[in-house]
Structure 1
Amino acid sequence: MIYFVPTPIGNLADITKRALLALENSEIIFCEDTRVTKKLLNLLNIPLNKFFISMHSHNESKIINSLDINLLKTKECSYVSDAGMPGISDPGSKLIRFCQKNNIPYTVLPGPSAFVTAFVASGFEGEFCFYMFLPNKGKERTDKLYEIMQTGKISILYEAPHRIEKLIKEIQKIDENREIFLIKEISKIHEKFIKAKAKDIKLDNTKGEWVVVINKAEKTKTLNLTYEDILNLNLPIKEKSKLLAKISEKSQKEIYNSLLNNG
């Protein structure tokens, strides 16, 4: 049996009773980083008389291919990432698929998750999409952000401290009046959040892990994009023609046919 155990994203008291019980009873613990997990167990007063296996994004496939299926079926095991829910911007999903494929019993315990906490704290209402991290740079990043900001839904992103200012500037360029909610260091001592239009956001301290919640655009709002900007976006022809029709005198059908014929 494998327990997928969420761990505190900040405050140690966020650990659940079920998570404590799973970690106490586990004979084998798969960890994103064994040092981090052993430190957590020490803080929780859980004995370290376990067999710890380091399993992270760089060796996940290799470790899984070496696992003894019968052992996993008969032993009490847990998987934990460094913080939060396994499988969300952290390893874990491959191990779950391995369990499904080989009929290994498993369960996922509920617990702390940064993007859910950020969404509730934002006060925004409506459907939302969670995009984890944007690509780091280049056209892929630009195209993805444009796509996110025209979905008509609330969007949630994770961002690293050294890129958060860059992200705000990118959002400002697309729609400086879009309402944004930022939160960093969730449930930690220095937790801080900001809610404002993109053009009004100025960060005096970027340290910490950030969650960015981008409100949906107003129904009457059009994005600040040129015809050429939209042509260069990596979007389906149907979506691209819909955007182009909003800023030109041509119909969506006319633009669609033109794009289709021009490849």
Structure 2
Amino acid sequence: MSTHETGRLVLVGAPLGNVADASVRLKTVLHSVNVIAAEDTRRLKRLLSDLEIDTDADIVSYFEGNEQTKTGQLVARLEGGDDIAVITDGGMPSVSDPGYRLVTAAIDVGVPLTAVPGPSAPTTALAVSGLPSDRFIFEGFLPRKSGEASRRLAEVAHQSRTTVFFESPRRIEATLAQLCESFGSQRQAALCREMTKTYEEVRRGTLASLLDGARDDPPRGEITLVVAGWDGPDGSEATPERLAAEVEALEETGLPRKEAMRQVARQYGLKRRDVYEALLSR
């Protein structure tokens, strides 16, 4: 049992694919805790076997589908004195993975928590992308509905910071097509798949070239997409159709038309009348 008055919650950064990336502290924690909450219990057991970790911990399933119902049970065990480790299939818990609900619930009841730092797909992909890494935005997975995804992209299309996305092989072609529309087809990007695994691959080029490549040779496995930031107004991209589409996307978020026109004009270094005339030409 834990020696704490309450138990302690430990977020464990799991290897993305190469088990040799596991730290000594990861092994110690998984050996010593009372409970391991795993996104995929089968993958966890394989990891434990590969790392030759002997544990008497209770292994419980904790993933997106049951996170809401299981959180209360895990908090009760923490309050009862059990130490709990949360581990996902790869990377840090709560970063587009299960864990955030449990973290906030543990904080609410005063349970101490810490993390075992480990691999992170966003920063790993950013480091090898060849794109600026001093400032970046992490957007995770885009919404599944096309309209919601377009609105999200419109919000970040003119950020000067590099943007990092997660995507599945099934949706990558559609997402690259949306990025070409929202960010401009000539924006530089890197498609990183299966990071640290046997078939690791990084495809670099414009969004248009990555889209062509995804059509000709669909990428498989887990994908992290890194897209360069906007480097300032570009008259060749400020077509009437694009300006009007961006105003309409902002309006759909509830922004008044005048404010939407003002924001789009500012993003492209144009006068608001230029944007107004683009709307009239539609």
Q: Tell me the TM-score normalised to structure 2 length.
A: 0.82
Aligned-partner Cα distance in 2 for 1:151–1:73: 46
Name the structure 2 match of 1:170: 178
Q: What amino acid is aligned across from residue 208 of structure 1 in structure 2?
A: G
Residue 46 of structure 1 deviates from its aligned partner by 1.2
Q: Which runs of 5+ in 1 are unaligned?
A: 256-263
Determine the C-alpha separation between the residues in 1 that align with 2:156 and 2:272. 25
Q: Is the 8 A contact 2:131 2:189 kept in 1?
A: no
Q: CA deviation at 1:71?
A: 4.7
Q: 1:155 to 1:239 in 2, by over 3 A?
A: farther
1:99 is aligned to 2:106: yes
Are the equivalent residues in 2 in contact too, given 1:69–1:102 (CA < 8 A)? no
Is structure 2 residue 116 aligned with structure 1 residue 109? yes
- Residue 39 in structure 1 maps to residue 55 in structure 2: no
CA contact (8 A) 1:129 1:156 kept: yes
Question: Which of residues 226, 237, 249 is equivalent to 1:213?
Answer: 226
| 1:196 is the counterpart of 2:201 | no
For 2:75 and 2:186, locate their aligned partners in 1 and report how far apart those are by CA, in whole Å: 55
Q: For residues 249 and 56 of structure 1, what CA distance do their matches in structure 2 show?
A: 49
Number of aligned pairs? 254
**Structure 1 counterpart of 2:248, which letter?**
N
Amino acid at match of 1:93: Y
Q: Deviations over 1:207-243 (max 9, x none)?
A: 1111111101222325455243122113545454231
Measured in 2, the distance between the counterparts of 1:99 and 1:31 equals 17
Q: Which amino acid aligns with 2:228?
A: N
> Counterparts of 2:198 and 2:221 in 1: how far apart (Å)?
11
Alpha-carbon offset, residue 244 of structure 1: 3.8
Of 259, 263, 275, 1:242 maps to 263
Q: Which moved more, 1:51-60 or 1:224-233?
A: 224-233
TM-score, structure 1 length as denominator? 0.87
Contact conserved, 2:164 with 2:224, CA < 8 A, in 1? Answer: yes
Separation in structure 2 between the aligned mates of residue 65 and residue 215 of structure 1, nearest angstrom: 41
- Corresponding residue number in structure 2 for 1:63: 70
Task: Report the equivalent of 1:181.
Answer: 190
Mark the runs of 5 or more structure 2 residues left unpaired by the alignment: 1-7, 277-282
Measure the CA separation in 2 of the matches of 1:136 and 1:224. Answer: 27
Counterpart CA distance in 2 for 1:56 and 1:122 is 29
Q: Which amino acid counterpart does residue 184 of structure 1 have in structure 2? A: R
Corresponding residue of 1:259:
none
* Alpha-carbon distance, 1:200 to partner: 2.2
* Structure 2 residue identity aligned to 1:46: I
The one-letter amino acid paired with 2:130 is G
**Aligned residues: percent identity?**
26
Q: Which position in structure 2 is the counterpart of 1:258? A: none
Cα 1:65–1:151 change in 2 (3 A) is: same
Out of 52-61 and 154-163, give the one that drifted further: 52-61
Q: Is the 8 A contact 1:230 1:244 kept in 2?
A: no
Question: For the residues of structure 1 that align with 2:178 and 2:238, how far apart are their CA atoms?
Answer: 12
Q: CA deviation at 1:186?
A: 0.2
1:133 shift after superposition: 0.4
Question: Equivalents in 2 of 1:74, 1:209: separation in Å?
Answer: 37
When structure 1 is superposed on structure 2, of 182-191 and 68-77 the one drifting more is 68-77
